[in-house]
Structure 1
Amino acid sequence: MLDWFTDEFAAMQGWLFEQVVEPLVFHIGLGGWVEDAFDATGWLLVGLIQIAILLAIIGPLQRWRPVDPVTDSAAVRTDILYTLLHRLGLFPLAMFFALQPFFDGLVGPLRTAGWSGWQLDAIWPGVTDLPWVSFLLYLVVLDFIDYWVHRGQHGFQWWWSLHALHHSQRQMTMWSDNRNHLLDDALRDCIIVLVAQLIGVAPGQFIALVAITQLSESLQHANLRLSFGYIGERLWVSPRFHRLHHSVGVGHESPSERPGAPVRLGGHNFGVLLPWWDVLFGTANFENRYDPTGIRDQVEPDASGRLRDYGRGFWAQQWLGLMRLAGRA
């Protein structure tokens, strides 16, 4: 089954590249980037498949059992823009051109010196001979890293100033996952890509891991009243489990909401795919509740009677994130 899926995906990637991407690359005079364009076509195809699944499956689920009525269509449209930028490859493409020299300079000398990274075969000979076994092991390892990255986003004042944009959405839908500050996304992606390279994740497996993660996160953020049951909730992050992480005053607390207080790690349900880490490290909350989402300083005025503004459109949200990072917002 895995081989069939891989072959079908490769065939679709080849067709899309030959019919659309390759002629465009030569037309705009970038013939020297053909190999990289072929790799980018894989990400484009994954994004198109994901958006088709969002529209065909998760969208109807939202309409079937919504938590909240959709009253802020403008906010949802902004989230759709974020999703298109990320899922159709524009953000990954920008990341590639901006950060590939960094990765080449960091990992390249190590490879030249003969260091191949930390391989699973070194501690469990032959484990990577079965693609599905290595895929599951890499998924667990990268999700463990993602859990601690997520806790860092909530635990450090400077990082929260960027990550707060993601939590400022009070109209959560399946489009809300990619509502992030670009610097926040870049930092998180750099960590994940670096770890994936160091532990030897194959490019094809990495694309599949990212695709599964993104689709699961879209479902988690959906405006959907859905729990996976007592056992399922402890095996995979559900929309109910993750919504608690976005709930005002329940799932997270911003250190900036308590002037003068030390930065502390607070909140619940930081798991990205697997709730195991929340259970293991004492951050899980399995209450069956669906609270309003957002950040406390959006609903509780400060001493001067003002509410914090996180911006309405894409550029306003990015600019205000930079101002928070600089301590000027």
Structure 2
Amino acid sequence: MTETFTRFLDDITGWLFEHVVQPAMYALGLMDYAEDALDWVQFGLFGVFSILVVYVVCRPLEAWRPVEPVTDRRAIRTDILYTLLTRLGVLPLIAFVLLNSLSAWWAGTVADSGFVPPTLETLIPGLRDHPVWAFLLYAVVLDFGEYWRHRFQHRFAWWWALHSIHHAQRQMTFWTDDRNHILDEILAALWFGTIALLIGVPPGQFPLLVLVMRLAESLSHANVRLSFGSVGERLVVSPRFHRLHHGILSVAEMGKNYAVLFPVWDWIFGTADFRRDVFPRTGDPEGPEALATGGWLRQQWVGLKRMAGAIAGRSGA
């Protein structure tokens, strides 16, 4: 599964680089950067592919059975801009540079020390012969990390000042998943990438893990009246389960349903709300109006000011 996906991505990347990017770089005298450009083409292509997958899965569901009618298309357009910037624009470049630097530093540190850090496959040798089970176990560990990152976003005032941009959306759709402050995105990329390095996620599995988790998160934000039944709701996060997290009575430290993939973490740590027929209005009634109706730049600026105020300990920040 992972090998097929990686080979598919590599084939398209190679074709684009050979027939489009490389001739342009040669003409501009930029061939010294060819290797970096090849990596960037693959990174950007993955962003395009992930957007297409999410759209094909989520858009028909929203058209089929929406929770609420669309009344604010401007807010949705802002979320689309967030998605394009997050997955195709400068944010992926920042994440790419940071994670590559982190990976190089980690590899150098390990090589200099002579210590071979344990990974899931060294701790459980049988995983090497069962890539599907290994993939699922990596997903479980990464999801556990994402659950706690999400809890911390709601727990610490400075982090909530950034994350509240995500919760301010009153017209929630599958595009809302990427509605985050740029600093919040950088922290998320470092958090996720560090855990992936520590548990030894193979490079071939990492892109597919990212794609699966992005699809799950986008689906959970979709404007669709959908639950997975009394059993399914306890196995996989549904749009209904996560919409309760975005409800107007579930903000800051009052939050419920933090999980990205598996609700078991909310069940274990007492933050689960499994009511099946509740689809609340979304938004943050305590947040500034600019976070709900402002444009991308306005929201980024207000989030930064609120974070600074929270760090300085100003009331109402």
Question: TM-score, normalising length from structure 1?
Answer: 0.86
Deviation at 1:164, TM superposition (A): 0.5
Q: Post-superposition shift, 1:81?
A: 0.8
- Per the TM alignment, residue 100 of structure 1 is displaced from its structure 2 partner at its CA by 4.4
User: What's the C-alpha RMSD, in Å, of the aligned pairs?
Assistant: 2.1
Partner of 1:280: 268
What residue is the counterpart of 1:290 in the other structure? 279
Tell me what 1:162 maps to: 162
Q: Deviation of residue 29 (structure 1)?
A: 4.7
Q: Supply the AA of the counterpart residue of 1:287.
A: R
In structure 1, the gaps of 5 or more residues are 255-264, 299-306
Query: Counterparts of 1:10 and 1:102 in 2: how far apart (Å)?
Result: 23
Partner of 1:72: 72
1:185 is aligned to 185
**Aligned-residue offset at 1:294:** 0.5
TM-score w.r.t. the length of structure 2 is 0.89
Amino acid at match of 1:313: G
> 1:309 is matched with which residue?
290
SS class of match (1:223) = coil
- Cα displacement string for residues 77-136 of structure 1 (whole angstroms, at most 9, x for unaligned residues): 111011112222641212333564455445522333223333123322232232222211
Give how far 1:53 is off: 2.7
CA pair 157-138 structure 1, distance change in 2 beyond 3 A: same
- Structure 2 stretches of 5 or more lacking a match? none
**What's the CA shift string for 1:133-192, capped at 9, x where partnerless?**
221111111111110000000001111010100101111011110000000111111011
Contact conserved, 2:5 with 2:208, CA < 8 A, in 1?
no
Identity of aligned residues (%): 49
Matched length: 309
Shift of 1:308: 4.5
SS in 1 for 2:248: coil
Question: 2:290 is matched by which residue type in structure 1?
Answer: D
In structure 1, the partner of 2:304 is 322
Note closer, same or farther for the CA distance 1:121–1:94 as it changes in structure 2 (3 Å cut): closer
Task: Name the structure 1 match of 2:127.
Answer: 127
* CA 1:231–1:33: 2 relative to 1, 3 Å: farther
Q: Report the AA paired with residue 256 of structure 2.
A: H
Quote the Cα distance in structure 2 between the aligned partners of 1:3 and 1:110.
27
Q: Are 1:120 and 1:128, in contact at CA under 8 Å, matched by a contact in 2? A: no
Contact 1:182 1:318 in 2 (8 A): yes
Q: How far, CA to CA, are the matches of 1:80 and 1:28 in structure 2?
A: 33
**Paired amino acid for 2:307:** L
Q: Which amino acid aligns with 1:296?
A: P
In structure 2, how many angstroms separate the alpha carbons of the residues matched to 1:199 and 1:27?
Answer: 42
Farther off after superposition, 73-82 or 194-203: 194-203
Distance 1:190-1:14 versus aligned 2 partners, 3 A rule: same
Aligned to 2:112: 112
Structure of higher RCO (CA pairs closer than 8 Å, 6+ residues apart): 2
User: Is 1:207 the counterpart of 2:207 in the alignment?
Assistant: yes
**Match for residue 35 of structure 1?**
35
